[in-house]
Structure 1
Amino acid sequence: MAQIDPKKAVVGWREMVSLPDLSGHRIPAKIDTGARTSSLHATDIERFDRDGHRWIRFQLDVGGGQSEAVTVEVPHADRRTVTSSNGEAQERYVIKTDLQIGSERFAAEFSLADRSDMKFPILIGRTALRRRFLVNSGRSYLQSSAEERQRILK
């Protein structure tokens, strides 16, 4: 039987996370070990050139009742075929940016997709979680402050 690593932080099935290089907001995220790739809710995605390099501009939904989306511009990372939760293969842009869950800050890849039909604007997949976190599927917001948890769970 596998040993549980006590040095790893434990996350619940949903957490408030930050994307410090993209926005100052705390954003609700679903933790999904069934998904390989993490995903961001992005709309109005466009590719453009800046100083001879490819960039991506999009509207980031910060969720949590925020009134407006945040316009984000990042260097273009990649374009890949990703299989969505309904089994459909989609060509998506993939960006790399810092993700902060609790006190852990690290680089993670996110596919950009319209998640307007989903409850959470961010999905954190197993590649981002691997070797960093354990998941307690019966709990929520384990990496949020007591004040934030109290406000969210009201």
Structure 2
Amino acid sequence: MKFITLFTFLCLLSLPGLSLGGEKTVYGLNEYAELAGIDLLVAAKLDTGAKTASLSARDIKRFKRDGESWVRFYLAIDDAHSHPIERPLARVSKIKRRSGDYDPQADKNYTSRPVISLEICMGKALRTIEVNLTDRSAFQYPLLIGSEALKRFDALVDPSLKYAAGKPACVANAQIAE
């Protein structure tokens, strides 16, 4: 009987999704993230409770370039980031407002935010993720990485750790299949 129980347990461990981590990378609650193409290292908060990723930006303006929608913004991180950044607009997301953020006069329980694609390096993993742009200057971390982006990083988040992946060390053109 003990042999059957042990055999059943080992079979369950071999099933996809039930293994104890497999090829996932363990990240801490906070990690260093390099914004590739912008050449900037920022501290990020990894938040499994948030669906999307958010980057701190200000003076966000949408415009057209060759018939395509683009967005121009400044990083709202510190005074050193005074040059505009321009990226193609991937889409516009509707973010649910928190109860304290809801304006009954506006009659909307969501806010619209522009979304761009951005290459992010955490540890040795380089991934293209979507980030919405909003002013996060009131928050400690200028970049929030939500569950959709964490899936792309094959991430396991251990909230007892901080900066577990170390400084970003992505090699150019070493991006893993998306």
| Fold in common (TM above 0.5) | yes
What secondary structure sits across from 1:35 in the alignment? coil
Matched position secondary structure for 2:162 = coil
CA contact (8 A) 2:47 2:144 kept: yes
> Do residues 46 (structure 1) and 61 (structure 2) align?
yes
Equivalent residue, structure 2, for 1:7 = 23
- Say whether the 8 Å CA contact 2:74–2:81 is kept in structure 1: no
Look up the match of 2:96. 83
Matches within 5 A, 1:3-82: 3-21=19-37, 23-61=38-76, 63=77, 67-82=80-95
Task: Identify, as 1 or 2, the structure richer in helix.
Answer: 2
For 1:84 and 1:142, the matched residues in 2 are separated by 31
- Decide whether aligned partners of structure 1 residues 142 and 96 sit closer, same or farther in structure 2, where only a CA change above 3 A counts: same
Displacement of 1:85 in angstroms is: 5.4
Query: Displacement, 1:6?
Result: 3.9
1:81-131 per-residue CA deviation (whole Å, 9 max, x = no partner) reads 112555752111111121111111111111111111111100000111116
TM-score computed with the length of structure 1 as normaliser: 0.83
- Compute the displacement of 1:34 (Å): 0.5
Q: Counterparts of 2:34 and 2:122 in 1: how far apart (Å)?
A: 7
Structure 1 gap segments, 5+ residues each: 146-154
Deviation at 1:142, TM superposition (A): 0.8
Larger Rg: 2
Contact 2:46 2:145 in 1 (8 A): yes
Structure 1 position 143 matched with structure 2 position 165: yes
2:129 is aligned to 108
| Alpha-carbon distance in structure 2 between the residues aligned to 1:85 and 1:59 | 25
Instruction: State the 1:70 CA deviation.
Output: 4.6
Compared with structure 1, are the counterparts of its residues 111 and 103 closer, same or farther at alpha carbon in structure 2 (3 Å cutoff)?
Answer: same
| Structure (1 or 2) with the greater strand fraction | 1
Q: 2-side partners of 1:81 and 1:144: how far apart? A: 33
- Aligned-pair identity (%): 34
Change (3 A) 1:68 1:97: closer
Q: Residues 92-131 of structure 1: matches in 2 within 5 Å? A: 92-130=113-151
